[in-house]
Structure 1
Amino acid sequence: MPTPSRLRVAAVTATCALLSCLVAGCGDEARGEGLSAQKLTWKDCPAPSQAEGGGSAPTPLPHGGTWQCATMKAPLDWADPRGDTVGIALIRVRTDGDRSRRIGSLIFNFGGPGGSGVSTLPAFGDQYAALRARYDLVSFDPRGVGRSAGVRCENDQQLDAYFQQDSTPDDAAERTALVDHTKKFNAACEKNSGKTLPHVRTTDAARDMDLMREVLGDDRLYYFGISYGTELGGVYAHLFPKHVGRAVFDGVVDPTQTSEQGSLGQARGFQLALDNFAEDCTSKAQDCPVGNTAQDVEDRITELLRALDRKPIPGILPRMLTQSAATNGIAQALYAKEFWPYLTDGLEQAYAGDGQTLMLLSDLMNGRNENGEYSNLTAANVSINCADDKPRYSTSYVQQMLPRFRAASRVFGDFLAWGMVSCTDWAVPGAADHPDVSAQGSAPILVVGNTGDPATPYEGARKMVDALGRGVGVELTYKGQGHGAYDSKNKCVQGAVNGYLLNGTVPANGTVCS
């Protein structure tokens, strides 16, 4: 996941020109040029590229199943289907069930935006093993991500400096420095990837998925979207409602919000997760090493962050743990309850003057490996968000909004508010205030919300159901912690999702799992 300040709701919808293009059939014209008839060449997967996060080539699943990779060609500019093409990197593992009962390909998007599906699906493939009974499991690097014409901005050394900057300025000089850093980063994106930047909107990725559906040989799209992947799925359903087969949205982005409202919602969401962490730590039989009461835990965290703003402590040398890095690391640990022990350890160490664990968590959030190499997660995330989001926020506007953000979270409020300036002087105008996901005529879409979700607050699930339209969205609530619900291994959630995807059994709207 990228930094919380960049994990705001991506806002995108089709422009009038592109909607007119769809009505006129230019997408079909592109396919008439041979793109839908292309044959994919599946081969053993190489090791992930550095842009995808690096590492080793994916190993077979525990119960069998070899990963295969291919590249699909799509128009760089969907408004000019006869023009240049872009390669979309794909990965799959074939069904392990009876081929006569195979439904098709189940396409995953794990969110971000900016996450590499080619590297993520093998890492978590065993969690979706039950779905292989009737599907090939497929994922991809969306355009601008990883090996799909991955956006390049700053190099590793520059990114180290970028993430060391003070992202919660307290005075005019610090505000100027933040804007200067942002402009420098954004200029590097334009210099290194200017040709790609206008074509990484969520609508572009949705059209790529429809071409993918055809190339994979499916009449309908079978889809599992997580986090930002729910927004991508919603935009797809809006553009191609009659092509939706069975789809699941988990960890749901609120499609009705502007980027500012999304950031404010995340401030509340991360604060709620922090409250839950503090309550959990202090309610156990043994002493909580980072506070005596939940309020004490949060008071100590707030004081730690203030102290780091004045004087950073050693992190992973030669880098120091700054206020920004510590906030980032704390947020990373709130994405899953399984990370809470690391947060406890990291805070305990930081109070003793050692910032290594919190910095490791921050590096994980930023896509930095132990060798100091970054994936293109941040570059892609900023590029897609800024191409999608129409609003551009000034420092004076953020200053006006700070009281609202601080009321939402005294720990994360400033951090998320100042993240709104990340599209300053971006080379491409944003598409819209928020996406259009209305999908009249679509098959049912199962929408799963988690009451303790920090990154995509629970309220977004109901908003998505309402926005999809009557008879389309089916709401399922999970009373739990962490980002998303299926990967919690909750039997109720997994039973409902698997029952729909495998057998077409739609759970009752309003079903609650705990």
Structure 2
Amino acid sequence: MGTVSSVVATALAAAVAPATVQAAPAGGVNSRNSSAAARYTGQRLDWTPCDRDPSLECAAMAVPRDWHHLGTGADLTIEVPRHRAADPAQRRGVLMMAAGGPAASGLTRPAGFVKASPTVGAAYDVVIFDQRGVGSSSHAMCQTNAEFRDFYAGDFRDRSPAALQGVVDRSKQFAKDCLERSGDLVKYLNTDQAVRDMDLFRSLLGVQKISYYGPSYATWLGAYYATEFPQHVERAVLDSNEPFAQTWQQAELGQPMSFQRRFEQDFLPWIAKYDSVYHYGSTAAEAQSTWEARRKALHDHPITIGSLTIGPNQLDNATLQGMYNADQRWRGLASVLTALEHWNTATQAEHQLVQKTFANYLSPGFAATFFPVTCNDTPWDRDLDYWIRQSAKDTTKYPLVGARELAYTATCVYWPESDAPRVKVTGKGLPPTLMLNSVHDPATYYEGAVRAHKALRGSRLVTVTGGGDHGQYQNGNACVDGIVDAYLLSGTVPAHDTTCPTKPLPVPAQGS
């Protein structure tokens, strides 16, 4: 095994200047008057009841591997479900959704969306798709479950040369495995290709314009779609916004701060407030000390449950996962942390909860699209020395997510240079767009959302003050839901940027 210094030298020697390809002119797929395009635009969607949810209809559409060079390689398949408008007589159009990630599957989401917002479901055909590379669509293969578990092996806080070399080697291996096992497919897993798939879907639905709802990464997807096809957008709601006017590098550099902020300023005071229930410390400082002591104990003595090993990186993963939504995740996370404190006497129910929590993190299938999209979409600094220095700073200052920074960024250092078009989001030609974000969102940090809002001309930003949930619409906040429903149903937008108060934090369940 080479040294970290030799790895740096190799990376620098292989670095290539960022591509400067501009986005293709906006235009629907129907404007492509070639016989090659006709095989896609001439498709008919064969709708049948979905196996997973009979309230939905499912179909599949073929898309080209490369929209910019039709005929390059084999076609891809995109799975598309829909929920028909509950009142066809009052139907006002199509609402297209997308899932986050990048790499989350969304096949059954229209059913849940309509159940949560029946008035919107009555007015729209709600449709979604599994993005190329994801779920039931043509997907990439990078690593097995066992191989990907090694990606999170050890302790990301360990800054010894041997530990750093191990992190770099595993990231390099992941990139190598993706390229070897998925061929050229991963080159075409990027947001620009995905929005062209979306526009083909729109045309096959037989509508000139769609409305759109997308959370998290789907804000990036929606902003790119609106930029490349503004003439096909009627209304758009972007919920919990990635900094889509910037780069994925800037997005990832913002997350260590925002996850740490959510953990220290929101979660730790909350669990301390209920010390009589969770026994984790009566102040935020005491709770943090308990958490850090447990992390150190897992470093020295990891816990094994079946094929699952719970070490310090796994504690980080479970904790950051719990930061996304207070009402849905904090009580479960607090119960898991409590169980770890008395593991030798934990009940069977606690063992099962711990196993479920720690097994439920990024899968190799998710990573096989997440990394291609984030590495392909925008340029990355390929100086590994820079990332070693930067990750050292973030590990010290924002350890919850900063410690893993090198593993994620090194993957993109070793990713091939992408020729995906550089898309500049401006909002030109769009109707007013509605943007939602909480001030302490851990994954899509508020500061980045504000910059995205400034770039998206004519948008209105609804700031949820005092909270930090990721995903604001249909999250139990009547203020947010009222604004979004009025916009989707009647086109009403706030005259200016506005605010909504956060909903109350959860209380422990009785008997916890």
Q: What TM bracket, shorter-length normalisation?
A: 0.7 to 0.9
User: Which residue number corresponds to residue 19 of structure 1?
Assistant: 24
Distance in 2, Cα, partners of 1:75 & 1:14: 22
Structure 1 position 453 matched with structure 2 position 441:
yes
Question: Which residue, 176, 179, 182 being the options, matches 1:190?
Answer: 179
Question: Which residue, 468, 473, 489 being the options, matches 1:481?
Answer: 468
User: Which residue number corresponds to residue 357 of structure 2?
Assistant: 361
User: Which residue number corresponds to residue 283 of structure 1?
Assistant: 273
In structure 1, what residue type is equivalent to 2:282?
Answer: N
Moved more, 349-358 or 141-150: 349-358
In structure 1, what residue type is equivalent to 2:378?
Answer: D
User: Which residue number corresponds to residue 8 of structure 1?
Assistant: none
User: Which residue number corresponds to residue 50 of structure 1?
Assistant: none
User: Which residue number corresponds to residue 501 of structure 1?
Assistant: 488
Deviation at 1:501, TM superposition (A): 0.8
Structure 1 position 466 matched with structure 2 position 454:
yes
Question: Which residue, 72, 75, 80 being the options, matches 1:85?
Answer: 75
Deviation at 1:414, TM superposition (A): 1.6
Contact kept in structure 2, 1:329 and 1:359, CA below 8 Å: no
Question: Which residue, 313, 319, 324 being the options, matches 1:330?
Answer: 319
User: Which residue number corresponds to residue 43 of structure 2?
Assistant: 38
Distance in 1, Cα, partners of 2:169 & 2:175: 10
Q: Cα–Cα, structure 1 residues 30 and 183, in superposed 2: closer, same or farther, change >3 Å? A: farther
Question: Which residue, 138, 142, 151 being the options, matches 1:149?
Answer: 138
Distance in 2, Cα, partners of 1:14 & 1:129: 45
What are the equivalent positions in structure 2 for 1:269-418 lying under 5 Å apart?
269-275=258-264, 276-284=266-274, 286=276, 288-314=278-304, 316-337=305-326, 338-353=328-343, 357=353, 360-367=356-363, 376-402=365-391, 404-406=393-395, 408-418=397-407
Distance in 1, Cα, partners of 2:100 & 2:224: 14
What per-residue deviation string (whole Å, max 9, x for no partner) do you get for residues 408-432 of structure 1? 5233322235422122422453748
Tell me the secondary structure at the aligned position of residue 452 of structure 1.
coil
Moved more, 74-83 or 21-30: 21-30
In structure 2, what residue type is equivalent to 1:511?
Answer: T
Q: Cα–Cα, structure 1 residues 30 and 242, in superposed 2: closer, same or farther, change >3 Å? A: farther
Contact kept in structure 2, 1:151 and 1:383, CA below 8 Å: no
Deviation at 1:250, TM superposition (A): 0.2
What per-residue deviation string (whole Å, max 9, x for no partner) do you get for residues 183-238 of structure 1? 22222211221121111110111111111111111111211010000011111111
Q: TM-score, normalised by structure 1?
A: 0.85
Q: Cα–Cα, structure 1 residues 131 and 88, in superposed 2: closer, same or farther, change >3 Å? A: same
Deviation at 1:348, TM superposition (A): 1.4
Tell me the secondary structure at the aligned position of residue 128 of structure 2.
strand
Question: Which residue, 156, 159, 162 being the options, matches 2:148?
Answer: 159
What per-residue deviation string (whole Å, max 9, x for no partner) do you get for residues 318-348 of structure 1? 3220111110011111111121011111111
Deviation at 1:269, TM superposition (A): 1.4
Moved more, 156-165 or 15-24: 15-24
What per-residue deviation string (whole Å, max 9, x for no partner) do you get for residues 86-137 of structure 1? 211101111102x232122211112100011114444555224332111111
What per-residue deviation string (whole Å, max 9, x for no partner) do you get for residues 378-404 of structure 1? 211112111113214454222311354
Deviation at 1:513, TM superposition (A): 1.0
Deviation at 1:499, TM superposition (A): 0.8
User: Which residue number corresponds to residue 220 of structure 2?
Assistant: 231
In structure 1, what residue type is equivalent to 2:75?
Answer: T
Question: Which residue, 212, 220, 229 being the options, matches 1:240?
Answer: 229
Contact kept in structure 2, 1:242 and 1:443, CA below 8 Å: no
Tell me the secondary structure at the aligned position of residue 218 of structure 2.
helix
Distance in 2, Cα, partners of 1:136 & 1:333: 33
What per-residue deviation string (whole Å, max 9, x for no partner) do you get for residues 151-188 of structure 1? 11112232233343544442111112112222222222
Q: Cα–Cα, structure 1 residues 163 and 464, in superposed 2: closer, same or farther, change >3 Å? A: same
Distance in 2, Cα, partners of 1:229 & 1:350: 35
Distance in 1, Cα, partners of 2:472 & 2:239: 7
Moved more, 459-468 or 18-27: 18-27
Distance in 2, Cα, partners of 1:263 & 1:441: 29
Tell me the secondary structure at the aligned position of residue 118 of structure 1.
coil
Distance in 2, Cα, partners of 1:25 & 1:493: 36
Distance in 1, Cα, partners of 2:440 & 2:35: 43
In structure 2, what residue type is equivalent to 1:360?
Answer: K
Contact kept in structure 2, 1:250 and 1:448, CA below 8 Å: yes
Distance in 1, Cα, partners of 2:124 & 2:303: 50
Gaps of 5+ in 2: 1-17, 345-350, 502-512
Question: Identity, % of aligned pairs?
Answer: 30
Moved more, 409-418 or 134-143: 409-418
Q: Cα–Cα, structure 1 residues 158 and 392, in superposed 2: closer, same or farther, change >3 Å? A: same
Max Rg structure: 2
RMSD: 2.7
Structure 1 position 511 matched with structure 2 position 498:
yes
In structure 1, what residue type is equivalent to 2:361?
Answer: M
Q: Cα–Cα, structure 1 residues 14 and 96, in superposed 2: closer, same or farther, change >3 Å? A: farther
User: Which residue number corresponds to residue 439 of structure 1?
Assistant: 427
Moved more, 270-279 or 134-143: 270-279
Q: Cα–Cα, structure 1 residues 214 and 438, in superposed 2: closer, same or farther, change >3 Å? A: same
Q: Cα–Cα, structure 1 residues 416 and 350, in superposed 2: closer, same or farther, change >3 Å? A: farther
Moved more, 259-268 or 87-96: 259-268
Distance in 1, Cα, partners of 2:211 & 2:132: 20
Distance in 2, Cα, partners of 1:26 & 1:192: 35
Moved more, 324-333 or 452-461: 452-461
Contact kept in structure 1, 2:239 and 2:435, CA below 8 Å: yes
Tell me the secondary structure at the aligned position of residue 19 of structure 1.
coil
Contact kept in structure 2, 1:332 and 1:361, CA below 8 Å: no
Q: Cα–Cα, structure 1 residues 504 and 22, in superposed 2: closer, same or farther, change >3 Å? A: closer
Question: Which residue, 64, 68, 73 being the options, matches 2:62?
Answer: 73
Question: Which residue, 477, 480, 493 being the options, matches 1:490?
Answer: 477
Gaps of 5+ in 1: 1-12, 47-56, 61-65, 368-373
Q: TM-score, normalised by structure 2?
A: 0.85
What per-residue deviation string (whole Å, max 9, x for no partner) do you get for residues 350-372 of structure 1? 223478645533432214xxxxx
Q: Cα–Cα, structure 1 residues 107 and 234, in superposed 2: closer, same or farther, change >3 Å? A: same
Contact kept in structure 2, 1:329 and 1:358, CA below 8 Å: no
User: Which residue number corresponds to residue 508 of structure 2?
Assistant: none
Contact kept in structure 1, 2:215 and 2:239, CA below 8 Å: yes
User: Which residue number corresponds to residue 49 of structure 1?
Assistant: none
